[in-house]
């Protein structure tokens, strides 16, 4: 934190840098004063790549300044205002408005996920911002919660950090050999090295909405290879909290960019939800606007561009390879797509192929190849046009084992979890019982899963010491109606400390299933992973 005095650095003879507000992959953001207009501003100092030659550095600097000036022309209430773009000592700086709030990422970290109403408000604001940017030929390419500001004084939502934005038609940083952006929020066509357009920002918005609603990206994994595999190949599984907005989220997370929900329809659906409180539906006869443009614009060739044909063929190949009949072909495809994606991120292709099963590291005939680096699970939600493997064909991720329980079900649990019974409940416990994964199988109860969870929520204070923040949400599990119950409590002893529980209940095949995980509040990411893996691999009647 800076102090008043002569130690302040002044750039371009005008902007006094006073205190560092944050640092990211593309540079440092400073709180500053515009000494000419006597106003507070934010200044982004873009980092220099010392590995570049002088000519390469000059070309990158020129491109950065050109694209920053294009962003400065954007005018929208939900886009950060860029006041100036300057150069000082051959380094570019972007001068922006200074907002008085935290980022969406900070707010989620401090206060937890938002409800569907707030997520819809955020989505509408960002769709408006992206519409203005895309109309001007500017792609953001780094939509994520850390780049969305929530202004305290007005509750205004502000899209910021166009530091890696691309002006339409310009050469991208990715094409010059360096992957830019945040992998958990990056569209699969960008991961696969296909030249992208506005629809890639819309995928990122879909991932952001999932994070806002659940607290975590659906593509979060423990390694870069795992993240890339999740984005490019795994089935997309939105969190249960996304149920009120599920058609929007699923539409935005459609892997084929040609079939992805467009901005206008996404905004209409979110506005409909805010007006009615009901889960929105697609307009009758809807197809993405970019398809309509090709069909309806006189004299325009309706044949997709080469890049889009490539994208479609890769997506079709991915879907075919997901079918369990040809596991060896799937492992080759996974490796090939990930090699293309990882090449820009500096990850060794040889290391990836060793993990794919082709180098002897995987079991023969396994359909879970190329997942040695993946910690997490493929989800149960299937995009339109895809074929999901049956649950009985699924295998346990690396570090897990498939437990065939004598109570008549199977699921994947961590290798070191041990089984115990307590009445009608079965527990799989981590060493020291830090994590407790429970399963209950009973006859259906009156009112179905939602009523069961609501009754449990009402009885929470009597069954769980220090019960608080209970929330029951209607959702789906596979094709079944389900209910998710979340709550925080104080644990059974002072030594145990505060804990959080995720609990999903659904009916299937004439039985009611209840699966939950309980963990210390400081270990929720791992708990959510164990919970998701258990649900995704859960098979009744085994």
Catalytic positions:
142
- Greatest alpha-carbon pair distance for the chain in Å reads 76
Beta pairing class for 499-508 and 425-429: unpaired
Closest CA to 200 of 143, 137, 267, 136: 143
User: What tokens appear for 367 in the block?
Assistant: 């359909």
Q: How far is CA 59 from CA 66, 172, 195, 298, in A?
A: 11, 12, 21, 39
Name the CA dihedral angle for 210, 212, 217, 222, rounded to a multiple of 10 degrees. Answer: -150
Assess contact for 375 and 398: CB atoms under 8 A.
yes
Q: How far is CA 394 from CA 169, 308, 366, 402, in A?
A: 43, 31, 10, 9
| Backbone phi, psi, residue 48, to 5° | -100, 140
Angle between helices 327-343 and 224-232 (to 10 degrees): 120
Cα-to-chain-centroid distance, residue 94: 28
Place of tokens 């999903």: 504
User: Cα–Cα distance between 417 and 503 in angstroms, integer?
Assistant: 19
Phi-psi region of 322 (alpha: psi -120 to 50; beta: other; left: phi over 0): alpha
User: Cα–Cα distance between 361 and 374 in angstroms, integer?
Assistant: 14
Q: Classify each residue of 434-464 as buried b or exposed e, where b means 16 or more C-beta atoms within 10 Å of its C-beta.
A: ebbbbbbbeeeeeebbbebbbebbeebeeeb
Residue 367, helix vs strand vs coil: coil
């Amino acid at each position: 934190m800076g102090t008043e005095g002569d130690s302040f650095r002044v750039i371009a003879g005008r902007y006094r840098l006073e205190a560092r507000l944050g640092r990211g992959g593309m540079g440092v953001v400073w709180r500053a004063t515009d000494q000419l207009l006597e106003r507070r501003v934010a200044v982004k100092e873009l980092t220099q790549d010392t590995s570049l030659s002088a000519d390469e550095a000059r070309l990158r600097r020129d491109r950065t300044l050109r694209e920053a000036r294009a962003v400065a022309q954007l005018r929208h209430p939900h886009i950060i205002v860029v006041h100036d773009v300057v150069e000082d000592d051959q380094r570019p700086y972007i001068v922006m408005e200074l907002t008085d709030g935290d980022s969406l990422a900070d707010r989620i970290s401090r206060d937890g996920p938002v409800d569907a109403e707030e997520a819809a408000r955020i989505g509408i604001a960002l769709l408006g911002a992206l519409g203005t940017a895309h109309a001007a030929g500017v792609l953001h390419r780094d939509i994520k919660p850390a780049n969305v500001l929530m202004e305290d004084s007005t509750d205004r939502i502000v899209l910021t950090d166009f530091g890696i934005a691309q002006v339409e038609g310009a050469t991208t940083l990715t094409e010059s050999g360096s992957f830019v952006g945040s992998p958990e929020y990056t569209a699969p066509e960008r991961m696969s090295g296909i030249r992208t357009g506005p629809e890639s920002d819309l995928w990122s918005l879909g991932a952001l909405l999932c994070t806002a609603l659940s607290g975590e990206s659906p593509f979060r994994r423990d390694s870069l290879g795992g993240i890339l595999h999740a984005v490019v190949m795994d089935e997309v599984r939105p969190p249960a909290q996304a149920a009120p907005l599920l058609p929007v989220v699923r539409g935005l997370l459609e892997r084929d960019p040609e079939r992805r929900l467009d901005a206008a329809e996404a905004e209409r659906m979110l506005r409909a939800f805010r007006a009615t409180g009901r889960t929105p539906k697609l307009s009758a006869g809807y197809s993405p606007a970019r398809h309509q443009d090709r069909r309806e614009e006189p004299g325009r060739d309706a044949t997709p561009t080469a890049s889009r044909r490539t994208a479609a063929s890769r997506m079709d190949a991915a879907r075919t390879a997901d079918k369990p009949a040809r596991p060896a072909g799937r492992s080759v495809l996974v490796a090939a797509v990930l090699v293309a994606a990882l090449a820009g991120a500096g990850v060794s292709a040889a290391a990836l192929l060793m993990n794919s099963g082709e180098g002897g590291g995987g079991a023969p005939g396994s359909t879970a190849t190329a997942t040695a680096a993946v910690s997490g699970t493929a989800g149960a939600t299937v995009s339109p046009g895809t074929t999901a493997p049956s649950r009985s064909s699924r295998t346990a991720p690396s570090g897990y084992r498939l437990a065939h329980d004598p109570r008549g079900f199977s699921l994947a649990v961590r290798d070191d979890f041990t089984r115990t019974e307590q009445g009608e409940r079965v527990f799989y416990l981590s060493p020291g019982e830090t994590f407790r994964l429970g399963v209950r199988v009973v006859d259906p109860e009156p009112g179905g899963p939602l009523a069961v969870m609501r009754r449990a929520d009402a009885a929470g204070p009597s069954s769980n010491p220090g019960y608080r923040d209970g929330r029951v949400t209607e959702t789906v599990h596979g094709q079944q109606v389900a209910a998710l119950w979340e709550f925080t409590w104080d644990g059974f002893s002072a030594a145990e400390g505060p804990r959080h529980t995720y609990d999903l209940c659904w009916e299937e095949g004439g039985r009611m299933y209840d699966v939950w995980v309980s963990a210390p509040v400081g270990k929720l990411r791992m708990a959510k992973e164990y919970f998701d893996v258990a649900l995704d691999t859960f098979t009744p009647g085994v």
